[in-house]
A and B are shown apart, each in its own frame.
Chain A
């Protein structure tokens, strides 16, 4: 016993030199080409410095040479898991600038599509979260259910990932005749699969031990760092734009904003799981009530925005996505700025991960749900 005590005391006094390691740019848990320069003492993280720009594609600059209808297909490629919401932001921004009122049908379709996209994104997040923590099984279960949503997208939008479905003035195609049937079948099926997710991962002792009480983010810090989306809502920051600044058909549906004031890794996980149930409920409320009408209003061949500055924000699966367009009255925007949720969320990582183990850093990054093209754009 004394021997053990001695070891413990000396352990306390042992100090190793701090050393730097590169996590990424090619690392499975960075979900893309993100490089984290991690300053470690033993296993304990002292400092995390994200280095970005490995897949910078200059989308904001490219947008200056494109017309407004062409802008949408580039935003698909930023946060590719929230492609629908990104194009919706551009479409809403252009419509607001031109003061075009879209038909009710378009609003309903856009909302249903956005929620399907959010479900698909959260499914992928869930399976990757499990995989990051060593549970490879979850990866296959999540992708299996995501496949059903992608099939629905393929049937109605004509693509699986880069959809370019929301265009200024409406949507690209009217919904497929089978759309409502397929969505209902999917919801029915997914309602039995979601409890399976919970059984598989949420209660798992290894998972909870690694996530519960780890890496807290307080509400004040979430606001200070500009964190949005489920990550911030897990800290108690009510920032759901669907609730507070309703756009499209969100003012016609009843849903809860999932809030928690704990703010650890496990809560960030739970908020997203609960959001999936809310998305299901939103789709169920809308799917039978899609009004008749046109799927798009006729826009001019060349869309010219009036001179001025226009901003529109939407809630993507990761947080607040904003489009800021400066127009000088020509057919191309003078300047476009995208406020991507991933960028702001990522830079809170140093604040959160400080003092925790490097293995926790992997879990923290998973709960941030990073999509690198969204950060680099």
Chain B
């Protein structure tokens, strides 16, 4: 008799634990308007990305097509996986003085691990992290980018 009593009790207790769990799911099932997920990609316009989010390395230019990069190559040394290549050129000014300047700041997005070490190391703040995160392309050669815009030059007053 005792065995049967315990048997039935166990079954009822088991059903009760299942109902306890189902009460939680039912709460969410009947109040879906409180718990809506993000409607990505439809909400692209209203999407808020954190300011510090590390999406890609970019080089900001001002309205005169000027940047702050001196071509010192510190970012290239600090990059752990060789995503940055600096190609420099030598400029000669009116007085005949030679000066190193950036020719191409090549950035391999496909190799980048977004560790932020290049930005931290940059002495002039020429490169920053952009918030764009949709990097899918059809051809991987498109992932190799030149960060300084064509025809751009260094800002006045930026020194190494």
**Chain A interface residues toward B at CB < 8 A:** 66, 69-70, 72-74, 77, 137, 144, 151, 154-159, 162, 164, 167, 172-173, 176, 196, 199-201, 203-206, 208, 301
Most buried by B among A154, A176, A201: A154
Which residues of chain B have C-beta atoms less than 8 A from A201's C-beta?
21
12 pairs from A and B in contact (CB 8 Å cutoff) = A69-B117, A70-B80, A70-B115, A70-B117, A151-B50, A157-B52, A159-B53, A159-B114, A199-B23, A200-B21, A200-B24, A205-B15
Q: In this assembly, does B90 line the interface, its C-beta being within 8 Å of a C-beta of chain A?
A: no
Residue interface bits B61-76, CB-to-A below 8 A is 1, else 0: 0000000000000000
Q: How far, in angstroms, from A213 to B129 measured CA to CA in the complex? A: 52
Q: Tell me the residues in window 16-30 of chain B with beta carbons closer than 8 Å to chain A beta carbons.
A: 17-18, 20-21, 23-25
B80 partner, pick from A73, A159, A200, A204, beta carbons under 8 A: A73
Return the 10 tightest CB-CB contacts between A and B, nearest first: A205-B14, A73-B115, A158-B52, A70-B80, A158-B54, A155-B50, A164-B115, A154-B50, A205-B17, A203-B17
A74 partner, pick from B23, B35, B80, B129, beta carbons under 8 A: B80
Which residues of chain B have C-beta atoms less than 8 A from A205's C-beta?
13-15, 17-18
In the complex, the answer to whether A176 meets B80 with C-beta atoms within 8 Å is no
Residue interface bits B119-152, CB-to-A below 8 A is 1, else 0: 0110000000100000000000000000000000
Which residues of chain A have C-beta atoms less than 8 A from B121's C-beta?
301
Which residues of chain B have C-beta atoms less than 8 A from A158's C-beta?
50, 52-54, 116, 129
Q: In this assembly, does B88 line the interface, its C-beta being within 8 Å of a C-beta of chain A?
A: no
In the complex, the answer to whether A204 meets B53 with C-beta atoms within 8 Å is no
In the complex, the answer to whether B117 meets A73 with C-beta atoms within 8 Å is yes
Which residues of chain A have C-beta atoms less than 8 A from B117's C-beta?
69-70, 73, 164
Closest residue of A by beta carbon distance from B25: A137
In the complex, the answer to whether A172 meets B116 with C-beta atoms within 8 Å is yes
Q: How far, in angstroms, from A312 to B65 measured CA to CA in the complex? A: 48
Q: A77-B113, A200-B24 are in contact. List 11 more A-B contacts (CB 8 A).
A: A70-B78, A70-B117, A158-B116, A158-B129, A173-B52, A196-B24, A199-B23, A199-B24, A203-B17, A203-B21, A205-B18
Which residues of chain A have C-beta atoms less than 8 A from B13's C-beta?
205
Interface residues on B, range: 20 to 34
Total contacts A-B at CB 8 Å: 68
Q: How far, in angstroms, from A199 to B54 measured CA to CA in the complex? A: 38
Min CB distance A7 to B, Å, is 23
B52 partner, pick from A137, A155, A206, A301, beta carbons under 8 A: A155
In the complex, the answer to whether A66 meets B80 with C-beta atoms within 8 Å is yes
Which residues of chain B have C-beta atoms less than 8 A from A203's C-beta?
17, 20-21
Q: How far, in angstroms, from A206 to B14 measured CA to CA in the complex? A: 8
Min CB distance B84 to A, Å, is 13
In the complex, the answer to whether B53 meets A154 with C-beta atoms within 8 Å is yes
Which residues of chain B have C-beta atoms less than 8 A from A151's C-beta?
50
Which residues of chain B have C-beta atoms less than 8 A from A208's C-beta?
17
Closest residue of B by beta carbon distance from A138: B21
Min CB distance A93 to B, Å, is 17
Q: How far, in angstroms, from A206 to B18 measured CA to CA in the complex? A: 8
Which residues of chain A have C-beta atoms less than 8 A from B53's C-beta?
154, 158-159
Q: How far, in angstroms, from A213 to B54 measured CA to CA in the complex? A: 47
Most buried by B among A158, A173, A204: A158
Q: How far, in angstroms, from A36 to B112 measured CA to CA in the complex? A: 34
Closest residue of A by beta carbon distance from B74: A301
Q: How far, in angstroms, from A164 to B21 measured CA to CA in the complex? A: 38
Q: How far, in angstroms, from A375 to B71 measured CA to CA in the complex? A: 41
Which residues of chain A have C-beta atoms less than 8 A from B114's C-beta?
159, 162
Instruction: Say whether, besides A70-B78, A70-B80, A164 and B25 are in contact (CB < 8 Å).
Output: no
Closest residue of B by beta carbon distance from A71: B80
In the complex, the answer to whether A176 meets B21 with C-beta atoms within 8 Å is no
B113 partner, pick from A73, A173, A200, beta carbons under 8 A: A73
Which residues of chain B have C-beta atoms less than 8 A from A172's C-beta?
116, 120
Closest residue of A by beta carbon distance from B54: A158
Which residues of chain B have C-beta atoms less than 8 A from A164's C-beta?
115-117
Min CB distance A301 to B, Å, is 8
